[in-house]
């Protein structure tokens, strides 16, 4: 049996057809049943067959063989790394959903204008400014839109500034339990400064959409994305 015949037999056994080789019924059947690509095991079998059947008067080029082995090893390593990264991504996604479920029953600080009073009275919250402001104030109104209290926060830098209202109106009366509407007023001395009020609200439930982030259902605000949560109490 010649070296060429032996090599053809080895390649056929691996499901790989050499370029220019005849394609008989048997070869076609074998190729249909086996993969057209080499995996790591097939590559090592082919390499072993090449070494066993090489011409002793014209042996394989060691440099070329080592280069091919290094290239195959690199491809195999990348494939394994992709599999590992995919598994990590799946795990992280599962952790995000588990974390979202733990929000139920807790209060979150999130952009919004409706807040319910605390048991002790009043509300706590914050304002989020897109740039520095020379004057910042928060007006708290009742459900009908009647102003109850205006809190002056003075000059503030860009970012978040907290406020705490004790539940007393500007006239000293008890404002009740709400719900209250929170309005932000901010300016730099010349023009209005953009921003938004942040309110504390209890999380009632969590929805898990087929794609995208979990959605929280929050009292007074409806549904909000998990990414909108600034803090958890």
**For residue range 19-29, what is the model confidence (pLDDT) as tens digits?**
454 445 444 44
Compute the distance between CA of residue 60 and CA of residue 50 in angstroms, rounded to an integer. Answer: 8
pLDDT at 104: 87
Domain, as residue range, for 171: 107-232
At 93 the pLDDT is 56
How many Å apart are CA 18 and CA 4, to the nearest integer?
A: 11
Q: Which DSSP string do the residues of 114-147 spell out, in sequence order?
A: EEPPPTTSSEEEEEEESS-EEEEEEEEE-TTS-E
Q: What is the CATH number of the domain that holds 136?
A: 2.60.40.4070
Decide if 97 is inside a domain. Answer: no
Q: Could you tell me if 56 and 13 lie in one domain?
A: yes
- Summary mean pLDDT of the chain: 78
* pLDDT at residue number 64: 66
With a cut of 50, which residues of the chain have pLDDT below it? 1-4, 14, 18-19, 21-23, 25-29, 31-33
| Residue 188 tokens, joined | 């730099």
- pLDDT of the residue at 82: 77
Between β-strands 133-141 and 147-156, what pairing exists: parallel, antiparallel or unpaired?
Answer: antiparallel
Q: Are 119 and 74 members of one domain?
A: no
Q: What is the pLDDT of residue 40?
A: 63
Residues 6+ apart with CB under 8 A from 199: 109, 110, 112, 113, 114, 115, 123, 125, 182, 220, 221
Domain assignment present for 96: no
Whole-prediction pTM: 0.57
Total count of domains within the chain? 2
Residue 87 inside a domain? The answer is no
Residue 95 lies in a domain: no
Tell me if 206 is assigned to some domain.
yes
Are both 141 and 55 inside the same structural domain? no
């Amino acid at each position: 049996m010649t070296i060429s015949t032996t090599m053809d037999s080895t390649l056929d056994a691996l499901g790989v057809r050499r370029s220019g080789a005849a394609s008989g019924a048997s070869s076609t059947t074998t190729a249909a049943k086996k993969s057209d690509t080499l995996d790591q095991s097939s590559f090592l079998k082919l390499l072993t067959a090449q070494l066993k059947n090489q011409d002793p008067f014209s042996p394989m080029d060691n440099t070329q063989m080592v280069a091919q082995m290094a290239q195959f090893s690199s491809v195999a390593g990348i494939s394994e790394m992709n599999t590992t990264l995919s598994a990590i991504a799946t795990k992280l996604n599962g952790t995000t959903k588990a974390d979202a479920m733990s929000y139920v029953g807790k209060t979150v600080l999130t952009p919004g204008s409706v807040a319910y009073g605390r048991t002790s009275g009043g509300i706590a919250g914050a304002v989020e400014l897109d740039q520095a402001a020379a004057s910042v104030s928060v007006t708290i109104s009742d459900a009908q839109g009647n102003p109850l209290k205006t809190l002056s926060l003075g000059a503030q830098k860009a970012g978040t500034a907290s406020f705490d209202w004790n539940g007393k109106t500007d006239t000293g009366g008890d404002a009740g339990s709400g719900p209250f509407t929170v309005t932000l007023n901010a300016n730099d001395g010349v023009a209005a400064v953009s921003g938004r009020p942040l309110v504390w609200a209890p999380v009632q439930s969590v929805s898990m959409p087929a794609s995208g982030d979990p959605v929280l259902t929050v009292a007074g605000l409806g549904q909000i994305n998990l990414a909108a949560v600034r803090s958890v109490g």
